[in-house]
Amino acid sequence: MATVPQGVQDNNQGLGSSKARLIVAVAVIAAIGIYLGYVVHNESLRRDYFVQRLTTGILVLGVVVVLFTLFRNFASVQLPVLTNAVPPVAQGAVVTLAGAAALFWILLGPVKNLMFPPDQLFSGNIYYKIAQPGDPLEPVKGVVVQIPETDQKSQPSGEDGRFTITNLTFHPEDVNALYSGLTYPFEPAKYQHSRYDVIQRPSLPPTTPVISIAPTEWTESGGKCTGVNTSGYTRVALFVLQKSLPTRPGYSTMSIKVNTQSSRIVDAQKEKPDNEGFEDQLPDDRTLARGWSVPAQASQTEVKLTLCLGTKKGGQPPARNDINTGFWFEK
């Protein structure tokens, strides 16, 4: 009876013929291809961290199986470099595993970027919620934006509400804004220009504190108090205040009050704004105080006021340091 050479026996063990090995390799490649194609076209799967890790494991296993199948006949080849360390019958497995590891290491980057392409960043600005379209946006400082699936977080937002998250492998569909111990979930796709007004504005008091305007903001005009009855006053002077006053979101009315200490208000006029919303609202002595109210503007309000101040015999000349001015906001 003829004796089968040892190398031939090794070649015919395990998977058998080259045709059988080729069929196994093709089947594994086809199965992996179908799986990868399904994942690539399914955004929700690509965003799942478990699926990302499962895909990596399948790719590793597939590379090992295919290479081990195709190069199983290496077991009959004696490699001098492995002779003393590995038995000849096991050299094929060593070569296969080493080749699989090298190939996978080379392909890992491209395959990962193909399957889960990293976005450069996810960024935008965080604002307080607005009451109605067209209201001004107020940025929120100190907000941390979180991607729930991966728990990736931004640094706290700055004065302008700006945040940035890098190294994302998907486009986030659901995001959390973390602020003052509360979580505000939102969907970026529902907002335009990466401006996210999602933070609930804290409760506002009915009235803001009075904001003072320095007397130096008033300027003495060289003009006279025309059209005004100045009888009884020995000295009169005209002062003008022209200033842009900031708005306060959440309040509907802005009020301004002017009062004096020693000088008397002979006349007070409002030149700006010129809408009819301004109304004298103070019932007390009109020679000591005047005030107006106006609907709060969406942006800064240009204000121009004129005061005709007078003093009687023996009094000090009217001066701007005698003028106290303040404004506040009400709901």
Give me the amino acid identity at 296: A
What's the whole-number mean pLDDT along residues 85-94? 61
**What pLDDT, on a 0 to 100 scale, did the predictor assign at position 85?**
64
| Equal fold, 119-199 vs 211-330 | yes
For 189, residues 6+ apart whose C-beta sits below 8 A from its C-beta are 173
At 23 the three-state DSSP class reads helix
Q: Measured between alpha carbons, how far is 8 from 76 in angstroms, rounded to an integer?
A: 8
Pure H helices in 41-170 = 43-46, 49-70, 88-115
Residue 247 · residue 211 · CB < 8 Å: no
Q: Report how far residue 25's alpha carbon sits from residue 222's, in angstroms, rounded to the nearest whole number.
A: 98
Closest CA to 122 of 51, 56, 196, 67: 196
Residue with structure tokens 């001004």?
136
The string of pLDDT tens digits covering residues 214-242 is: 999 999 987 778 888 888 888 899 999 99
Residue 288 confidence (pLDDT): 83
Per-residue pLDDT tens over the stretch 20-45: 767 777 887 888 888 877 877 776 67
Per the model's pLDDT, the better-predicted residue between 34 and 103 turns out to be 34
Poorest-confidence range of 40-44, 169-173, 245-249, 285-289? 40-44
More confident residue, 35 or 143: 143
Q: Which residues pair with 119 in a beta bridge?
A: 168
- Beta strand 119-128 with 195-199: parallel, antiparallel or unpaired? parallel
Q: How far apart are CA 237 and CA 221, in angstroms?
A: 8
- pTM of the model as a whole: 0.45
The domain defined by 119-199 carries CATH number 2.60.40: yes
Which of 21-25, 89-93, 133-137, 234-238 has the highest average model confidence (pLDDT)?
A: 234-238
The predicted structure's pLDDT at residue 294 = 83
Domain ranges of the chain: 6-115, 119-199, 211-330
- The answer on pLDDT for 10 being more than 50 is no
Q: What is the DSSP letter of 294?
A: E
The CATH code belonging to domain 211-330 is 2.60.40
